[in-house]
Each structure stands twice: as structure tokens, then as C-alpha cells.
Structure 1
């Protein structure tokens, strides 16, 4: 994050010919970023533990419920307005998660107890709920800030959130002595020790882009749209898990996936229709104003 952030600072200094104010001089944004960063750290722990006990396809479907939580918290926190298409999408995704949960133990990995499986199931669900809360809180922070939010501040806030999330996870790993396990895992990695560390570094970079994109969409639009964009990853993840990991694609997963796709189409069609109606309304008002102006001139 330091590379694009440095570029933004240099650009602002050259453009305004004055010193750019640092994020740390804005107490409200810094404290908010720190708190949200710790919550992100907790979410990372829940997510990491949960998916380690579940097949990729199952965990991705459970994570799709994040949209429902995002919508609910967006309604409560930032007073998000809903259309019939949005509500339809949320209901469909909820039903999709219920369909998956009814037969959740049917794809339990070999050698894993039922207790471990359901612990992973509910911890993954908890991670979805927590991140569904974090996204509207980011939007709430933007709205309550007395500072004009720009692209640079979005990157700064993401960096602060990442630093505190990393600190939270690092302290936990130190207490649990998890760092000693990293070299052992690297040596036991099937693709080789070098590729193990390559995967770790690549994961860190890709997730950073993911989080920056999530808060960026909130800055440009809303937390609900950010939740929708995250949920759109579901069909791709579901398909790749079956193709590359040879996971079984049960009828329940098929129904859940179909309902999820239906929900995505419903939401985007609703947004398209609402935008079209708004444009027609603006054009109609513009024609009336122009007509009145012509009459006055006459």
C-alpha cells in the first residue's frame, strides 16, 4: 500500500504545492480505521479456522450469506434503501444458505468429526456476519467524517485497517506459537518449500487488492454494492473447486448455486431498471423546464 500511497502524496504536493496532511492527523478516521482493523483481524481468524474445516465449495456458499448481513446492517447503520429486486436477491441468497445448511454434514471431509465440521460451519458463518457489519461501518465512517474523502484517504484508511488487523493476528500467532509451524508446513508442502512461501506472499498481495477494492467500491457507491461484488465471486469459486479439487457437486450445492445466480441477476436487473427510470425522470423534468422557458420567451 505504501507504493500507491507515496504516488498519491507526490501528486497532491505537486498539484497543490503544499504539504499533504497525513492520515494520522485525523483522529476520527484513524481511530475508526484502527477499530475496524481489529474487527477485520477477528474476522480473519474466524474465516481461516472455518474454511480449514470445510470443503472450498461449501465454505464459499456459506460466505455468500455475507450479502444478507451486509444488507441488514446497511439498512440499520446507513439507512440503505431497498427495492423489490434487492429484497428478492437477499431472500434468494438466504434460502440458498438454508438449502446448503440442511444437508451440511453430507460432505464432511474424511477423518473429521461432526463437531469439528459444524464448528467450522458456524465460524465461517460468523465471519460472514462480522464482515457484513464491517462494510457498512466503513461507509458510516465516510459519511460521519468531517474530512472530504478522496482516493488517497481511502488508501490510507485501508493501510491503517490492514496494520491493526495484522497486529491482531500476529499477536495471536505469537501467543499460540504458530510461527514455529510455518517452516514445518513449508517442508511438508507437496509442491515444494519455495512454492509454499510464494503462495503465502501471493495470498497476502491478492487479499490486499481485495480489501482495497471492497473499501474503494464503498467510497464510489455503497457498502451494499461492495457486498454484491464480493458475492459475485461465488459462482467462479464454486466451479473452480469442483474442477481443480475434484470435490463432489451435490444436488444441494447445485440448487444453492442456482438460487445465488438468480439473486445476482435480480439485483443487477433492479439496479439497471432503477437507473433507467431515473434517467427518464431527469429527461422529462428537463423537457418541462425547457418548455416553460420557451413559453416565457414567447
Structure 2
């Protein structure tokens, strides 16, 4: 849902309530889950799930906890980004999403001892650069509007 405009949301759900937004997120995720489940069973990959769970280094409980908390965090992200779209703008929601991208590889390096490759480093630099550009453009727009408002006030006073 990041990138969706509030006008499009209103055209689809016809109401501007928190419950309508939550319903939209739930139904979107439900459809995605059904499509993924069909693909899982059609491809035959479901037969390898127990082997994958048993081969997980930290154990079966950690495997299930990892999947569960990943799903919960994605749902919270969906609700938060949709809330940002409705309250601020889709551009701001995307900017906040982009600034969060470098956090995941950094945490993976510290907690999981993952290697920091050149591709990860470049992606992190680009994400930070994109967010900094967004903030700087906002600063420029704000100072231009203050300058033009100050100019108008001076003209009216004289």
C-alpha cells in the first residue's frame, strides 16, 4: 500500500474511517495469502517445509517465532504506512519507508554476524541519500515560502 494516494483509498473503500482502512489491509493480505498458498501447494514446495524447519540452526520454536514476528511486524508496517498516507502524503510515507531500509542490514551485521557486501553498502548510501534529498527539498520549499510570505507582508505594510 505504500505509494497509494488518499483519493484512491477513498474511491475504493468509500469511507474515511480507521476501521475501513484496517479492513482494506486485512482483505489485501488475505488475498495475497491465498495466492501464496495456492502457489505453495501447486509447486510442491509444501513437502519441504518440515525439512526446512528441522534444518533451522536455532530450532523449530525459533523458526516459528521468526515467521510469526515477521508477519506481525509487516502488518504493523502496513498499518503505519497507510496511516502516514492518510495523514500526511504518499511521498512522506515512502520517504519514511526508505529511511528504514538501512537499519535492517546494519542490525543483521550486528546480531546475525552477516557480511557487509558492497551492494548492501551502496544500497544503504542511496537510501540515506534519498531521504536526505527529501528533507533538504522540504527545507528549501519551506524557506522559499517564508521568504515570499515575508516579502508580501513588507509590501502590504509600506
CA–CA separation in structure 2 for the residues paired with 1:161 and 1:288: 53
CA–CA separation in structure 2 for the residues paired with 1:202 and 1:159: 17
CA–CA separation in structure 2 for the residues paired with 1:275 and 1:143: 29
C-alpha distance after superposition, 1:123-161 (max 9, x if no partner): xxxxxxxxxxx6444545225458342322211211111
- More contact order relative to length (CA 8 Å, sep ≥ 6): 1
Tell me, yes or no, if the aligned pair for 2:5 and 2:89 is still in contact at 8 Å.
no
Q: Does 1:223 align with 2:108?
A: no
How far residue 269 of structure 1 moved from its aligned partner, in angstroms, is 2.1
Tell me, yes or no, if the aligned pair for 2:3 and 2:90 is still in contact at 8 Å.
yes
Extract unaligned runs of 5+ from structure 1: 1-133, 292-298
Tell me, yes or no, if the aligned pair for 1:242 and 1:249 is still in contact at 8 Å.
no
How far residue 256 of structure 1 moved from its aligned partner, in angstroms, is 4.8
Matches within 5 A, 1:50-89: none
Which of 47, 55, 71 matches 1:180? Answer: 47
C-alpha distance after superposition, 1:218-263 (max 9, x if no partner): 111222222211111222123223333331433x654553343233
What is the aligned length?
156
TM superposition score normalised by structure 1: 0.44
- 1:224/1:249 CA distance change after superposition, 3 Å: same
Tell me, yes or no, if the aligned pair for 2:54 and 2:60 is still in contact at 8 Å.
yes
Which residue of the partner structure matches residue 205 of structure 1? 72
How far residue 211 of structure 1 moved from its aligned partner, in angstroms, is 1.5
Which residue of the partner structure matches residue 157 of structure 1? 24
How far residue 197 of structure 1 moved from its aligned partner, in angstroms, is 0.9
- 1:205/1:146 CA distance change after superposition, 3 Å: closer
Instruction: Give RMSD over aligned pairs.
Output: 3.0
Extract unaligned runs of 5+ from structure 2: none
- 1:254/1:136 CA distance change after superposition, 3 Å: closer
TM superposition score normalised by structure 2: 0.77
Bigger mean CA offset, 187-196 vs 233-242: 233-242
